[in-house]
Amino acid sequence: MESATVSVQPRRSNASAWGGLLKTNVIWAVVLAIVGYIVAHWLGGKIAGNIAAEQNPGGTDQADIAILLGLFGSIVGWMLGLGFFNYPLKRMLGRPPSLHEGGESGAWRYFRLCTDHKVVAMQYLVATLFFFFVAGLNAMFIRTELTSHNATLFPSGNYLTLVGLHGTMMLTMMSAGVIGPLGNWLVPIMIGARRMAFPRIESLTMWLTVLAGFVLLSATLLGGFPTGWTGYAPLADQARAGIDSYLVSFLLIGISLVLVGLNIIVTVVTLRAPGMSWNRLPIFVWGMVTTSILAVLAAPVLAAALFMVMCDRSIESTFFVSSSGGSPLLWDELFWFFGHPEVYILALPGFGIVLEILPVFARKPLWGYRLAVAGMFGVALMSFMVWQHHLFMSGINANLRPFYMFTTELISIPTGVIFLNGFGTLWKAKIRFTVPMLFCTAFFFNFLIGGLSGVFLSDVTSDVVTHGSFFVMAHFHYTIMGGLVFALMGGIYYWLPKMTGFNLNQTLGKIHFWTMFVFFNLTFFPLFAAGMLGMPRRVSTYNADLHTLNVFVSIMAFCLGLSMIIFIVNLVWSMVFKRERAAENPWHSKSLEWQIPTPVPSYNFEEIPTITGDPYGYGLPEGPVVDFGRRRPAVAAGKAGA
Amino acid sequence: MTVAAEAIDRESPETLAANIRVGARLWTSAAAFFFMSFVFAFLYLKALNTAHSFREPHVTPPLGWGVAILACVVVSTALFAFGRTSLGDGTASRWRAMSLGALVLGLAVIALQFIEYYNLSFGATDGGLASVFVGFTAAFLLFWLAAVYWMETIWAQSLRGERAGESDIKDTNALLRPNADGCVVYLAVLVITEIFAFVLLYLVK
């Protein structure tokens, strides 16, 4: 066994464009998903009809059984169309394992199951940005409605659906927003690997995420859902069929999160290059690892809770029906056991990005590397101990409140450590304020406001006043949009030239940054005041006294939306029209991904490199950070500069 | 840069085996957290006993079927675990017999669960315990199905043997043992889960 080796040969596809059309791809996936829905819905109708007739006359909600089965049928069709069943069926027949699918070159690879981690990452980037903008459009509709203190544009039910779609899509897609595109693209390269540990699973997570987005959108065709992103019982039990789309969509995201997290952890544990000790692991990779731990452990609880709601809605179990031995609070417990780590699934990648980028533009080593890693693990661990602060107003045992108040306030310590690392790195540095750096510095400003306002919500007495108000809404937008989305934008401006081989326009980037930063703060900061003045979330009507404030916020929100248009213009202009070739190491970074050619070769490294130095050794005596062996790429480590 | 084919990937089977080993343990961790939700639901709803409806008088899960299912799960896992020790050491007949037995019993678990559903004296609507019973057992069935699939792929590959040029991985048989080891870890967690389920759903009053 010791002498045996594994040899992976790249499979060249000879398929023409038309040939690619005939193979498994996204077109077939859409067709078969529709067919799967129709067939399974019909079957579900038959099953439900039989149950109703034979066992429980008039009691079974036939539509839910049919719709849920239909949605699961569409998942099967989707995966069938993309070719995800081919390999498992071959394995059932005793065929040996393999690492690659056929046809991994040419444009079609972007529209099908592909095992190249860089292709999957680009698929992820396009998909998550698409759904990010769809959810952003919902936000524009919400703000349009709130320009009037009475419901004018949308009936209250539709408004709730809009809020739910916006929240669920943003939360789910942004969960995948960093770990999907940047995690999948960067982690293997940063650790000196050629691929992810489980390439098919990597692709599966991407395509499940895409399907989840469309399934969620299908809620609008099924009457919408009134629960917001939190899916609270008993409303979820009682809601119209649109909630079935929410349940299935969230379940798909949960499965996807578990698998993507598992894949990243395994990749980092087993595929690190020689010399890539745990002490040399880039801080971004640590961010991905801690995020992945949360995903693997928290998302299954969500999946179980969703499964219980599905049981309640289809076979009429009573998990959340208090009149029949259940309890709606059970949902709160299970959902927030996932939901609060979910907040850190969103935050930790942001920490990883900014701490990775700061040393590059500060030209200083990352201050307190081990402390930063400890801080990330501290956040990850403690995020499992705070969930009950979401239930302060839900009638939990009063004796439990001080404990959860304490743990929630305690989590600010490891979070503060991340700030300490950031400011320690920036201290007395000659900072280059490039576009990525601007986004990173804004991250700290925004996240600080988000964190400080969070203290009010962790405190029981002030939470009583602010709970369910726009104060909460402003708080989590400061942490998630002000934190994660700003960090993600910084990451995109920083790494996209390496990922695509083309530069983004820096002038447009700076206009994008300043408009986004200014209008983000002008949109969300006044909402703290709206919340303190008693404006409730998820309600389209409010006190007339708050009208002027809301009109101002809406106008600022539209301007924030326009700043995103600038980003899209920059993307399209730079990637499609101008196509200016990116330098191989434009930021003079010492990190491994910048030491290889642009565009990155199919298998990343001809030989697995040996890591010989610290990726953050800026300003220190220069030495190579990596040894590429016999086949040294064009950009040598020594050129990274200090 | 063109990558020379002969230079691509010279990973050892140990690396792929490590992938399976770590991946299997993470997957079982995820599965454990999934089932802990049902354990929590049981304890939470039992403690609350809202409307005194956690356990309706007629809700008595059939002990006989429960014992049969538990026994099949345990014996199936044991057979597979013991069988895999002779995987690759030249005693192929022992592996084949034991893994086939594990598979048959694995399928029997699924059949028995459906028979139990058919013979239940209550429905999911009949209170908290009934809901947890149906939800827990149905979820277990899905995870068990995945276990049976996993066992089957290892069994089928071991029967078929390695054929030249069939895979882009050389010496795929070297991966059979670690794959079976990973499967056993997963099965062991399912056994623990099933024991928990048996105690909570059938024995706790």
Q: Are residues A250 and A394 in the same domain?
A: yes
For B118, nearest residue in chain A (alpha carbons): A55
Cβ-defined contact of B125 to A300 (cutoff 8 Å): no
| CA separation for the pair B65, B57 (Å, rounded) | 19
Which phi-psi region, left, alpha or beta, contains residue B122 (left: φ > 0; alpha: ψ -120 to 50)?
beta
| CA separation for the pair B187, B189 (Å, rounded) | 5
Q: Are residues A375 and A504 in the same domain?
A: yes
CATH of the domain at A192: 1.20.210.10
Q: Are residues A259 and A350 in the same domain?
A: yes
| Domain-embedded: residue A465 | yes
Cβ burial, residue B165 (10 Å; 0-12/13-18/19+): exposed
Cβ-defined contact of A301 to B156 (cutoff 8 Å): no
How distant is the Cα of B72 from the closest Cα of chain A, in angstroms? 22
Q: Are residues A70 and A197 in the same domain?
A: no
Question: pLDDT tens across A588-623, in order?
Answer: 999 999 999 988 988 898 888 999 888 888 877 766
Q: Which of B37, B58, B185 to mutate against chain A (most A CBs within 10 Å)?
A: B37
The DSSP 8-state label assigned to residue B91 in this structure reads -
Q: What backbone phi and psi angles, to 5 degrees, belong to A457?
A: -85, -25
Cβ-defined contact of A258 to B171 (cutoff 8 Å): no
pLDDT grade for A4, boundaries at 50, 70 and 90 = very low
Q: Are residues A184 and A87 in the same domain?
A: no
Establish, for the pair of chains A and B, how many residue pairs have beta carbons separated by less than 8 Å. 239
B205 touches chain A (CB under 8 A): no
Q: Where are the beta strands (DSSP E) in chain B?
A: 10-11
Domain extent at residue A140:
118-578
Question: pLDDT tens across A423-462, in order?
Answer: 999 999 999 999 999 999 999 999 999 999 999 999 999 9
Q: Are A183 and A348 in contact (CB under 8 A)?
A: no
Cβ-defined contact of A300 to B34 (cutoff 8 Å): yes
Cβ-defined contact of B123 to A55 (cutoff 8 Å): yes
| Domain-embedded: residue B149 | yes
| Domain-embedded: residue B33 | yes
pLDDT for the residue A108 = 86
Question: pLDDT tens across A206-237, in order?
Answer: 999 999 999 999 999 999 999 999 999 999 99
Token pair 């809202």 is at which residue? B50
| Domain-embedded: residue A105 | no
The sign of the CA dihedral B145, B88, A273, B168 is: negative
The minimal CB distance from B127 to the residues A95, A96, A325 is found for A325
Nearest to B133 by CA among B50, B54, B49, B52: B54
Residues 6+ away with beta carbon under 8 Å from A408: A386, A389, A454, A458
Helix (H) or strand (E) holding A611: strand A610-611
| CA separation for the pair B9, A604 (Å, rounded) | 10
pLDDT for the residue A146 = 96
The minimal CB distance from B131 to the residues A299, A318, A601 is found for A318
| Domain-embedded: residue B58 | no
Q: Which of A291, A317, A596 to mutate against chain B (most B CBs within 10 Å)?
A: A317
Cβ-defined contact of A93 to B29 (cutoff 8 Å): no
Residues of A in contact with B26 (CB under 8 A): 261-262, 265-266, 296
| Domain-embedded: residue A619 | no
Cβ-defined contact of B170 to A316 (cutoff 8 Å): no
The minimal CB distance from B160 to the residues A1, A94, A311 is found for A94
Percent of chain A with pLDDT over 90: 79
Cβ-defined contact of A334 to B40 (cutoff 8 Å): yes
Question: pLDDT tens across A498-545, in order?
Answer: 999 999 999 999 999 999 999 999 999 999 999 999 999 989 999 999
pLDDT at A152 over 60: yes
Question: pLDDT tens across B145-201, in order?
Answer: 999 999 999 999 888 876 766 676 766 777 888 999 999 999 999 999 999 999 999
Interface predicted TM-score of the whole assembly (ipTM), two decimals: 0.94
Q: Are A456 and A478 in contact (CB under 8 A)?
A: no
pLDDT for the residue B165 = 67
| Domain-embedded: residue B6 | no
Question: pLDDT tens across A40-93, in order?
Answer: 999 998 888 766 655 554 454 558 999 999 999 999 999 999 999 999 999 999
Q: How many domains does chain B have?
A: 1
pLDDT for the residue B85 = 87
| Domain-embedded: residue A100 | no
Cβ-defined contact of A301 to B13 (cutoff 8 Å): no
Q: Are residues A87 and A127 in the same domain?
A: no
Cβ-defined contact of B35 to A304 (cutoff 8 Å): yes
| CA separation for the pair A334, A254 (Å, rounded) | 13
Question: pLDDT tens across A5-54, in order?
Answer: 444 444 454 556 676 777 888 999 999 999 999 999 999 988 887 666 55
| Domain-embedded: residue A627 | no
| Domain-embedded: residue A336 | yes
The minimal CB distance from A296 to the residues B5, B30, B51 is found for B30
Q: How many domains does chain A have?
A: 2
Comparing A97-106, A368-377, A398-407, A459-468, the range with the smallest average pLDDT is A97-106
pLDDT for the residue A128 = 96
Q: Are residues A158 and A69 in the same domain?
A: no
For B142, nearest residue in chain A (alpha carbons): A307
| Domain-embedded: residue B137 | yes
Q: Are residues A360 and A293 in the same domain?
A: yes
User: Would the pTM of this model clear 0.90, i.e. be above it?
Assistant: yes
Cβ-defined contact of B34 to A269 (cutoff 8 Å): no
pLDDT for the residue A448 = 96
Q: Are residues A519 and A390 in the same domain?
A: yes
| Domain-embedded: residue B180 | yes
| Domain-embedded: residue A367 | yes
For B155, nearest residue in chain A (alpha carbons): A94
Cβ-defined contact of A6 to B50 (cutoff 8 Å): no
Domain extent at residue B187:
12-49+67-160+169-203
B34 touches chain A (CB under 8 A): yes
Residues of A in contact with B152 (CB under 8 A): 92
| Domain-embedded: residue A110 | no
Which phi-psi region, left, alpha or beta, contains residue A192 (left: φ > 0; alpha: ψ -120 to 50)?
left
Q: Are residues A67 and A214 in the same domain?
A: no
CATH of the domain at B194: 1.20.120.80
* Boundary-marking domain end, from A44, A76, A92: A92
B135 touches chain A (CB under 8 A): yes
pLDDT for the residue A517 = 98
Q: Are residues A82 and A180 in the same domain?
A: no
| Domain-embedded: residue B1 | no
B48 touches chain A (CB under 8 A): yes
Cβ-defined contact of A11 to B135 (cutoff 8 Å): no
Cβ-defined contact of B33 to A326 (cutoff 8 Å): no
B98 touches chain A (CB under 8 A): no
pLDDT for the residue A623 = 65
| Domain-embedded: residue B94 | yes
Nearest to A5 by CA among B6, B88, B9: B9
Q: Which residues pair with A581 in a beta bridge?
A: A502
Cβ-defined contact of A98 to B168 (cutoff 8 Å): yes
Q: Are residues A350 and A298 in the same domain?
A: yes
| Mean pLDDT taken over chain A | 90
How distant is the Cα of B95 from the closest Cα of chain A, in angstroms? 15
B12 touches chain A (CB under 8 A): yes
Cβ-defined contact of A322 to B168 (cutoff 8 Å): no
For B38, nearest residue in chain A (alpha carbons): A304
